[in-house]
Amino acid sequence: MDGFAAVDFGFAREVLQRGIAALYLVAFVSTLNQFRPLLGEHGLLPAPVLLDWVAQKRERRKLLHPTLFTRVRYTDRRLVALCGAGIGIAALLIAGVPQLGPPWVPMLAFLALWFGYMSVVSIGQTFYSFGWEMLLLEAGFLAAFLGSNDQPPPTVVIVLFWWLLFRLEFGAGMIKIRGGREWRDLTAMTFHHETQPMPGPLSRQAHLLPRWFHTLEVVGNHVAQLVVPFFLFAPLLSLWLPGPVPQIVGAVAAGIVIATQLWLVLTGNFAWLNWATIVLGFSAIGLPGIGAPERVPETSLPWTVSGMPLWWVMTTSAVGVLFVVLSVPAVRNLFARRQLMNASFHRWQLANAYGAFGTVTRERIEIVVEGSDDEEGRHWREYEFRGKPGDVRRIPRQFAPYHLRLDWLMWFLPLGHSLDDWFSVFLVRLLEADAPTLRMLRVDPFHGERPRWVRAVSYRYRFTTRAEHRVDGAVWVRTGRRVVLGPVGLR
């Protein structure tokens, strides 16, 4: 590092810019495919209804985060146009095209992604209530100030990325220590792989590993989230200490974070949460001579400072000051007795509080949706979802970083005191054989025809042992069948 210029972090900037843009591309593709049946004009929770309710009273606007659709009336076509624009801009950033121009070009590109996606998240209601939504928004905002290829990355912005990664990891670690007892008695991972929201193809194998290995997983998690994040800031010491040691320490810390996240990628489906953390981890990896200017940036006051235009130094410094001010509530939250998880402290969703899995459920309850096409309701067939467990012989698929929002919300259903309102509408859509809704599923047992009845049945699922799997190839065992809703039909 050289004052205002993080001269050894050119490679980190390349990974951050292109990686974050890739995640935005995934997010907009996910929105393009799922928003309309979930939240569109005829969705399960129509966004226009929410927007009309907000528009009735001025004070209600404060309940929404900023969105384009308070200025421009929402239609499904406009949502498609917004997603198309987001996909196009993200693709250009992945290719590195805006980065070839002056710094304001990639800045405007990332700010367009940030505000465009925030416009979606703000009206996404429960289907967009996940912590990785605000994580992507904050990362996109910071990426806007990483600059162009012809100048070094600003030190202040690189440090802000470390601060974001620190809040993400340390916040998650503190949530766990303060949360369920299973994190303190080191048994959490004994259950996690089996009961996580959406298992992946290797989740069963991970679950069947010895108990001592699961204990090491928890210990490793605590070290990676409660100790290692402090060392992400080590490269700052290179401003005063000569030699490569500070950057090596920072790179090792980043490597540990990345390695733990890769294990979670292999054993689960957490949308882009793990991938975003991996991308952010590269912010602490400084590689001299890679992606950096060939010579030490020159200072030619008053117009050039450390190889960067004065106006850009002032802009990025102002962003740094802004985050210092906005981070006060996040710092307090980290050390508060009642720590908030995945909380935003103001409307623009910057300097947020993060954290996940403060408790781990010990058993897996799945809601299975069934339909019947006979008048008496004697013969029932199951609807199958793309990601959530259903067929006991089907190996879970890998979907992350793509986000299956309906499947994730289905996991939360048994955890509540009552079935959510959107689920009742979902059942009506099945009774209507609504084509957009059925396209979100893997199997429609009625092939586009209307069933006479639908109902919701709960089961307790667990992974098969190796001996059980050898008998019939089943991946799951399900027991404890109970009808929780229905049968219901259309009048």
Q: What is the full DSSP assignment across 185-204?
A: TT-HHHHHHHHSSS--TTHH
Measured at the CA of 77, the angle between CA 71 and CA 80, to 5 degrees, comes to: 95
pLDDT tens per residue, range 206-252: 999 999 999 999 999 999 999 999 999 999 998 888 888 999 999 99
167: which residues sit within 8 A by CB, 6+ positions away? 330, 334, 351, 352, 353, 354
What per-residue confidence (pLDDT) applies to 358?
87
Residues 2, 297: contact at Cβ < 8 Å?
yes
Residues 91, 18: contact at Cβ < 8 Å?
no
Question: pLDDT band for position 83 (50/70/90)?
Answer: very high
Of 170, 190, 207, 126, the C-alpha closest to 360 is 190
What per-residue confidence (pLDDT) applies to 301?
63
Q: Which residue shows structure tokens 């907009």?
A: 28
**Has residue 417 got a pLDDT over 80?**
no
Q: In angstroms, rounded to a whole number, what is the distance separating the alpha carbons of residues 219 and 239?
A: 33
The identity of residue 350, as a single letter, is L
Question: pLDDT band for position 307 (50/70/90)?
Answer: confident
Q: In angstroms, rounded to a whole number, what is the distance separating the alpha carbons of residues 230 and 245?
A: 15
Query: Pick the residue with more confidence: 186 or 288?
Result: 186
What per-residue confidence (pLDDT) applies to 295?
53
**Has residue 337 got a pLDDT over 90?**
no
Of 451, 317, 437, the C-alpha closest to 374 is 451
What per-residue confidence (pLDDT) applies to 425?
96
Q: What's the number of CA atoms in the CB half-sphere (13 Å) around residue 308?
A: 29
Q: What percent of the chain has pLDDT over 70?
A: 97
Question: pLDDT band for position 389 (50/70/90)?
Answer: very high
pLDDT tens per residue, range 272-299: 999 999 999 999 999 876 655 555 566 6
Residues 304, 311: contact at Cβ < 8 Å?
no
Q: In angstroms, rounded to a whole number, what is the distance separating the alpha carbons of residues 105 and 127?
A: 32
Question: pLDDT band for position 356 (50/70/90)?
Answer: confident
* pLDDT mean over 392-414: 95
3-state helix, strand, coil in the chain (%, to 5): 55, 10, 35
Residues 273, 169: contact at Cβ < 8 Å?
no
pLDDT tens per residue, range 140-171: 999 999 999 989 999 999 999 999 999 999 99
What per-residue confidence (pLDDT) applies to 306?
75
What per-residue confidence (pLDDT) applies to 248?
93
What per-residue confidence (pLDDT) applies to 3?
78
**Has residue 123 got a pLDDT over 80?**
yes
**Has residue 473 got a pLDDT over 90?**
yes
Rounded to the nearest integer, the mean pLDDT of the chain is: 93
If you write DSSP's letter for every residue of 80-118 in order, what string do you get?
HHHHHHHHHHHHHHHHTSGGGS-THHHHHHHHHHHHHHH
What per-residue confidence (pLDDT) applies to 379?
94
Measured at the CA of 209, the angle between CA 207 and CA 214, to 5 degrees, comes to: 80
What per-residue confidence (pLDDT) applies to 289?
62
Give the number of other Cβ atoms within 10 Å of residue 393's Cβ: 11
From the centroid of its chain, how far is CA 133? 5
Q: In angstroms, rounded to a whole number, what is the distance separating the alpha carbons of residues 146 and 104?
A: 10
**Has residue 410 got a pLDDT over 80?**
yes
Q: What percent of the chain has pLDDT over 90?
A: 83
**Has residue 342 got a pLDDT over 70?**
yes
What per-residue confidence (pLDDT) applies to 299?
61
What per-residue confidence (pLDDT) applies to 49?
96
Per-residue 3-state assignment (H helix, E strand, C coil) for 469-484? HHHHCCCEEEEEEEEE
pLDDT tens per residue, range 46-72: 999 999 999 988 888 888 899 999 999
What per-residue confidence (pLDDT) applies to 292?
53
